[in-house]
Chains A and B, each alone.
Chain A
Amino acid sequence: MPDNTIARRELTFAQAINEATHQAMAADPTVICFGLGVTDPGAIFGTTRGLEEAFGPSRVFDMPTSENAMTGVAVGAAIAGLKPLMTHQRLDFFLLAMDQLVNSAAKWHYMFGCQFNVPITIRLIIGRGWGQGPTHSQNLQAWFTHIPGLKVVMPTTPADAKQLLLASIDDPNPVLFLEHRWLHNLTDDVPEQPTHGLIGKARVARQGDDITIVASGYLTLEAIRAADYLTGVGIKCDVIDLRTLSPLDWPAIFKSVHKTGRLMAVDSGALTGSIAGEIIARVASERFADLKVAPRRLAQPDVPEPTSFGLTRGFHIRSRSIAGSALEMMGETGDVLLGQLPDPVPHDVPGDWFKGPF
């Protein structure tokens, strides 16, 4: 029976991030928040709204266009006792900071024999659509998972965005918090109370015995849409929303594959060197006997993402391609049935709320 005493509280993904930041900063005076535009009228798509008013300009501030230096500044502040939360409006802008991320943030704890730890959280927004193009839409999450010492989270739901951001700020390690621009307006129930300790735990978003679909971030929504459609044609999917990309929740993946015997890993990054590839490799080498059919990776083509509306039509993985692959793995010829799962039109926006320009 549903518990009617708990009021439903709907927030958008962006509001959930905002609430988590307010709660983290209220609970812990060592948390500071900075990044280009965090105090401007856009407030990073609303996610940093009200922070400066609530916590003052010494804890919440805009910064020079100096991503690499400011990441190093965060590392220094962190090892001296603060918990910096940085934000970048696009992951691509943060690429200037690879030195400080990889050579400092990821190393300071290990390299100096555990004298220090680096509790920083770096929010990176991944763009897509409306001509974001080659340098505003890169899904480089696999790069970050390749660096020992970094944690990487990638929430899908508003509730997870909140809980994972709180967990990231709490975490004594550098955490990259990847948020997909197309999720910002997603609405769902979000518990008001802060919770802790979610990093490293996947979520089973749909349950089924036939096939395991492993997804993360925005693609989880496409996987769920595909799974719901497949239910209607008698195919039951386990949809695993990874939530954390590093460290990965291997027990959750192994358990599901043991049940279904079929594995599809979907990934918003380019195919070669993808997290999907890592998942397939690990399952194939450690759980080979569980597999009934060859596992599949669905990822972006190994091509820079172009800008043009024409060039991006069909470029991204959508529920239709996920469902089509699932049908093939089940030995069905999918095309006829797939008539009911058309790609959204226009293909380059997440919904009516998005009218460009970024």
Chain B
Amino acid sequence: MTDDQLEMRLLGAMLRLRMVEEAIAAHYPEQEMRCPVHLSIGQEAPSAAFSLAVQREDLAVSTHRGHAHYLAKGGALGPMIAEIYGKSTGCSKGRGGSMHLADKDAGFMGTSAIVGNSIPVGVGLGLALQIQGRAQASCVFIGDGATEEGVYYESANFAVVKNLPVVFLCENNRYSVYSPLSVRQPEGRSLTRVATSLGLTSVEVDGNDAIACYHAVDRALQQARGGGGPQFLEFHTFRHLEHCGPNDDDHLDYRQPGELQSWQQRDPIDLLQAKLLLTNHDLSSEIQPIRERISNEIETAFAEAAAAPFPDLEECMRDVYA
């Protein structure tokens, strides 16, 4: 893959994630997606990078903010949208909603609405890969808030003790709901340094620079797959919309004045586009068909989700045990 190809693919991947989330935000007020949704608008670069570096046989888990991670791992769009609509065609048959996405065929093993909950599960996936002798990686997406849970330290410790093929991908967007890092962690704390001291091979990345993200993720995955032990990537990035829901909530003033705007000026899609414009010729005409293709895909997914039937109460009572 040439640099140029890589960059175009990253741009396409970010656009897809952005447009899906924007479509969810646009449809949400119709009150047909009746579950909490946590959107990743502004945080697309790590997922886009991941989508290019990851292999289908790698495994992954994520959090409440998991749409982008699910899609980046190759999770099917239609079943995800249907899941958010609560339909029987949803990836979790309507039982989980936006916060509980899984696509086993794609190696996307689940997301959790409980902060920190999926971290040890991801480490367990790594244990299985190691014991079964599969040269693949288990990828654990987390937020900055999750590093405050004890289970993060316990899980990282075990991963280091066993030299497991686990990659922690931490999107540090500086907030947990409305709470800034300053009320949760000491000033000057570096999640990367903490991870290093736990024994994880750790790298800090500009999480809005998709190219940098790609190289970091690619290297970490290769290391983990090749027996290099557990890896930690900290992506500095920012969420543009409210913590939960489709709206802008900047007027609530829980963030520093101008903080959102300065991050929006470093929007990962804009950044990459600006870079491409320097070398590329004729970007807009190349992007147009990409956008159209994505729009069509999204429209189909929403139309199918809206048209699909709801599961019913009888269905609800089934499958408590395997």
Contacts and interface: CB of A to CB of B under 8 A. Distances in A.
Interface of A: 36-37, 39-42, 61-69, 92-93, 95-96, 130-136, 301-304, 306-315, 348, 355-358
A313 B98 CA distance: 19
Contact of A41 (B86, B252, B320): B252
Contacts of B245: 356-357
Interface in B60-96: 86-88, 90, 92, 94-96
29 contacts: A36-B176, A36-B177, A41-B178, A41-B254, A63-B183, A64-B148, A65-B184, A66-B150, A131-B34, A131-B36, A131-B97, A133-B35, A134-B100, A135-B114, A135-B117, A304-B95, A307-B86, A307-B96, A307-B97, A308-B90, A308-B310, A309-B34, A311-B94, A311-B95, A313-B310, A313-B312, A356-B35, A357-B36, A357-B37
A303 B179 contact: no
A354 to B, nearest CB: 11
B145 interface: yes
B320 A69 contact: no
Interface in B113-147: 113-117, 145-146
B265 interface: no
Nearest to B177: A37
Contact of B254 (A40, A134, A309, A355): A40
A67 B315 CA distance: 34
B25 to A, nearest CB: 12
B316 A315 contact: yes
B149 A308 contact: no
Given A68-B150, A131-B36, A308 B94 contact: yes
Interface centre among A307, A310, A356 (most CB of B within 10 A): A307
B227 interface: no
Contacts of A355: 31
Given A133-B99, A133-B113, A311 B86 contact: yes
Q: What 9 pairs across the A-B complex have the smallest Cβ distances?
A: A310-B310, A131-B35, A308-B86, A308-B94, A307-B97, A40-B178, A64-B148, A311-B316, A357-B36
Interface of B: 31, 34-37, 86-88, 90, 92, 94-100, 112-117, 145-146, 148-151, 176-179, 183-185, 244-245, 252-254, 309-313, 315-317, 320
Contacts of B90: 308
A130 B35 contact: yes
Nearest to B308: A310
A80 B204 CA distance: 41
A356 B34 contact: yes
A339 B94 CA distance: 30
Contacts of A39: 183
Nearest to B33: A131
A358 B36 contact: yes
B86 to A, nearest CB: 3
B150 A310 contact: no
B168 to A, nearest CB: 16
A310 B320 contact: no
A301 B86 contact: no
Contact of A310 (B145, B254, B312): B312
A63 B113 contact: no
A68 B153 CA distance: 13
Contact of A309 (B92, B113, B179, B310): B310
Given A311-B94, A356-B245, A62 B183 contact: yes
Given A303-B316, A357-B245, A132 B36 contact: yes
A96, A303, A356, A358: which has the most chain B beta carbons within 10 Å?
A: A356
A108 B309 CA distance: 53
A67 B252 CA distance: 26
B190 to A, nearest CB: 16
A304 B97 CA distance: 13
Contacts of A303: 316-317, 320
B245 to A, nearest CB: 4
A36 B145 CA distance: 11
Given A66-B148, A135-B113, 9 more contacts: A40-B178, A62-B183, A65-B146, A136-B99, A302-B320, A307-B100, A310-B86, A310-B94, A313-B313
Given A37-B179, A40-B179, A308 B114 contact: no
A311 B319 CA distance: 13
Contacts of A307: 35, 86, 92, 94-97, 99-100
B185 A133 contact: no
B62 to A, nearest CB: 14
B34 A65 contact: no
Nearest to A307: B97
A212 B244 CA distance: 42
Contact of A130 (B36, B114, B316, B317): B36
A309 B313 CA distance: 10
A230 to B, nearest CB: 25
A96 B36 contact: no
A136 to B, nearest CB: 6
A93 B150 contact: no
A62 B183 CA distance: 7
Contacts of B99: 133, 135-136, 307
A113 B316 CA distance: 48
Contacts of B244: 357-358
